[in-house]
Amino acid sequence: MRDLVRGRPFSILYLSAAINDAIVLRSQLRNQGFGANVIHAVSIEMALSQAHKNALDVLVIDFGGHSGNLLDSILSEASARQYFELIPKIVLADVDEDAQVLPLYELGATAVITQESRLMPVLIREVMASMVMQEKNLLKKQLMGAEQRCQKLIDGSIEAVAYIQDGLHIYANRSYLDLMGFTEINDLIDEPLLDRAIGESAVRLKNFLKDEEGTDEFELRTEGGDHIKVIISASKASFDGEACLQLFVTRKQQNSVEVEEQLEFLARRDLLTGLYNRNYFFDQLHERLELIKVNEAEQGALMMLDITNSAALKKMIGTTGVDSLITEYGKEVEALVGGKGLVARHGAYSFLILMGKADLTQAEAMVRSLIGYAKDYFFTMGTTSVTVNIAMGYVLLDINSPPNGMELVDRAERATNKAAEQGINLAELYKPDLKTASDAEQEETWARRIKDALKENRFSLAFQPIVSLQGHRDPNRFEVFLRMIDEQGNPLRPMDFLGRAERGDLMHSIDRWVILSAIKEIHAGTKRGERIKLYLRISEQSLRDEEFAQWLVSRLASVRLPENLLVIQVRADTAGYLLKHLENLRGSIAPLGCTILIDGFGEGAEPFRLLDHLKTREIKISRTLLENFSQESANQAAVAHLLNEAAAREVQVIVPNVEDPATLQLIWPMGVDLVQGDFIQSPRNSPEFDFSQF
């Protein structure tokens, strides 16, 4: 919704006693990327003047206890009502009881805002509603014009067209009149179509017209008394602004339907078994993959079933017998699958099965059913009875599956071959061997693992304390690190999964999880009587995403952090490319208890130029400057210079990577305030540390 509003300019008339209210609202909207024109008015007369000059989308009334009187006046005066009656009207009222709120709705308020924090989402919603109404009116006019043009085309069409309302003819073109034997349209108007139906067609036509949409064949009587067979296609339409049915009527050509049905059958079906053929199956597989791409809930499963003892069967019942077995067995498989999927013949002795909206549990249930049936099945030819041995392989289809149907069938075939190698009547779920799999298969597998970890809550946070050397122990500061465990409960290194998550476009989900988890920790600390301040990292993908910024602002507005207890760390090299975006983001989140820190600070010729543009008050020194710190005098001098410059600018500095006592002894006299590192304490599973020791 916000993206639709953000892409279009809109106007708000702000009716209040103070012009600053309108200026503040305009600034908030512009900071969030909305092209809003906020017009101020202090009276109804001024509001009318502005409405006369400007096209308005929303009216905001902010006059405290007098808002109701103003709203009543606006909607009771004819001169004002013509401008304001149809646009949304938002009233800001310092009330919270139904007895005070309900009268405002009765006077015509679209929404009543009792808390200022709710104004922005309600305002955007109402702007969207106003835009939708404007578009609806425009489309209505366009529709009327289109219907007029269509009417001209229908009048000149060689295809017979009629309009039916309540079963009566209300209009027909020349072709329809000629087909039914009428000379003038007036002879047909108000005649029931059912009066033209013959025999059993009358009952079917009555039901057909009730259904309002569809295609069927009927026998009708013309005005001259001839009996004709016609194909009628019905759809909902409007004529002169009233709802009706539009009928396209075609005289049936003998055998045309039968020929079409036969050609369609041959195009889709295997000639031996009557099952669907490979071409049709691949078309359906492609459609399933397209649906999954649009909607992740549209998952599925692809299966291959191979009869593995075909050579032995040929020796016992011959080629003709095997053909009969394949036909019979294929139909049995199709019956078992039923409406849950599609069955096609694949190779000489194999079948493909496509299940829609099937998860792993449903796929496994179908596999067990098919294998169980194979164990009990036998085929008899003459006096000879034989059994079949099968192998099955199956592949799950989801948003990470490759779009190439041949690749997916190849995977199912590899899984089938693996099952056949292991024994008789066995099945195998396709799982790539990460040692030999292609890069695409590895990325696909990792994407699924990461999604499963998010669903199964296998991500966690680790916390490393950031301590003050100047005795500033409130709040308790921690940097947040992300951890993940695999399916067996073993910890994974961040380098093992973060790169995969970025390439799989999953960092947005992970970043949101990290932020929500950090907010929970802050609130948990507050309940314990602790003020916890958390520093966390967000991916560049999320930082560049405007939708993520909107989500963050909305989430922070709803949780209401008591002060700046959440800090987003942005690397200096990344910040240099996102200055304007980050400055807007900082301005939006700072009042909501969140701020930005520049990480990796100090490299380059003029690092402090970055702070001239992005006016953040916290930096973290680059870890490169702290390598071998106790032996590198150049690094010591560079850090001392950064600390002096930061102190002059009143910028707080965090020195990370304090890994030994020598480093701590060197930086302490430099006047640094905050330090962190494994020498202080390595990351732990909970935000716990005795800050009193520093």
* 479-512 tens-digit pLDDT: 999 898 888 888 888 777 776 777 667 788 888 8
Q: What is the DSSP string of 329-381?
A: HHHHHHHHHGGGEEEEE-STTEEEEEEES--HHHHHHHHHHHHHHHHH-EEEE
Within a domain: residue 661?
yes
Q: Which residue has the tokens 């924090």?
A: 117
- Amino acid type, 510: I
Total H helices, total E strands in the chain: 24, 26
With CA atoms as reference, report the closest residue to 94 among 75, 116, 76. 116
Within a domain: residue 260?
no
Cα–Cα distance between 497 and 450 in angstroms, integer? Answer: 8
Characterize 627-655 residue by residue with b for buried, 16 or more Cβ atoms within 10 angstroms of its Cβ, and e for exposed. Answer: eebbeeeebbebbbebbeebeeeebbbbb
528-570 pLDDT, tens digit per residue, is 888 999 999 988 888 888 888 899 999 998 888 878 899 999 9
Within a domain: residue 487?
yes
Residue 277 and residue 419 in one domain: yes
Residue 292 and residue 221 in one domain: no
Within a domain: residue 189?
yes
Catalogue the long-range contacts made by 262-265 (C-beta closer than 8 Å, 24 or more residues apart).
none
Within a domain: residue 241?
yes
Cα–Cα distance between 304 and 395 in angstroms, integer? Answer: 9
Residue 247 and residue 280 in one domain: no
Under DSSP, is residue 260 helix (H, G, I), strand (E, B) or coil?
helix
Q: What is the distance of C-alpha 394 from the center of its chain?
A: 27
Instruction: Provide the CATH number for the domain around residue 50.
Output: 3.40.50.2300
Instruction: Provide the CATH number for the domain around residue 499.
Output: 3.20.20.450
pLDDT at 479: 94
CB distance 672 to 655 below 8 Å = yes
Beta strand residue intervals within 173-262, DSSP E: 214-221, 227-239, 242-251
Residue 682 and residue 539 in one domain: yes
Within a domain: residue 514?
yes
CB distance 396 to 408 below 8 Å = no
Strand 168-172, strand 160-165: pairing: antiparallel
Under DSSP, is residue 599 helix (H, G, I), strand (E, B) or coil?
strand
CB distance 464 to 479 below 8 Å = yes
User: Which runs of consecutive H residues, i.e. helices, occur in 2-77?
Assistant: 2-6, 19-31, 44-53, 67-76
pLDDT at 536: 94
Cα–Cα distance between 156 and 149 in angstroms, integer? Answer: 11
CB distance 275 to 344 below 8 Å = yes
Residue 565 and residue 668 in one domain: yes
Within a domain: residue 611?
yes
Residue 246 and residue 340 in one domain: no
Number of structural domains in the chain: 4
**Can you list the residues of the chain whose pLDDT is less than 70?**
1-5, 7, 142, 144-153, 156, 253-266, 433-443, 499, 503-504, 694
Cα–Cα distance between 411 and 432 in angstroms, integer? Answer: 9
pLDDT at 150: 64
Instruction: Provide the CATH number for the domain around residue 222.
Output: 3.30.450.20
With CA atoms as reference, report the closest residue to 126 among 21, 11, 7. 11
pLDDT at 255: 53
pLDDT at 392: 96
Residue 348 and residue 484 in one domain: no
Q: How many residues does the chain have?
A: 694
Residue 688 and residue 565 in one domain: yes
Residue 595 and residue 484 in one domain: yes
> Which of 220, 252, 284 is the last residue in one of the domains?
252
**Counting beta carbons within 10 angstroms of the beta carbon of residue 563, is it exposed (0 to 12), middle (13 to 18) or buried (19 or more)?**
exposed
Reduced to 3 DSSP states, what percent helix, strand and coil does the chain have, rounded to the nearest 5? 50, 25, 25
Q: What is the DSSP string of 520-546?
A: HHHHHHHHTT--EEEEEE--HHHHH-H
Residue 295 and residue 397 in one domain: yes
> Which of 252, 287, 320 is the last residue in one of the domains?
252
pLDDT at 308: 93
Q: Which DSSP category does 593 fall into?
A: T
> Which of 108, 138, 168 is the last residue in one of the domains?
138
Range(s) of the domain holding residue 16: 2-138
pLDDT at 332: 92
pLDDT at 434: 53
Within a domain: residue 472?
yes
Characterize 363-397 residue by residue with b for buried, 16 or more Cβ atoms within 10 angstroms of its Cβ, and e for exposed. Answer: beebbeebbebbeebebeeeeeebebbbbbbbbbb
Instruction: Provide the CATH number for the domain around residue 283.
Output: 3.30.70.270
Residue 542 and residue 686 in one domain: yes
Residue 356 and residue 209 in one domain: no
- Amino acid type, 362: Q
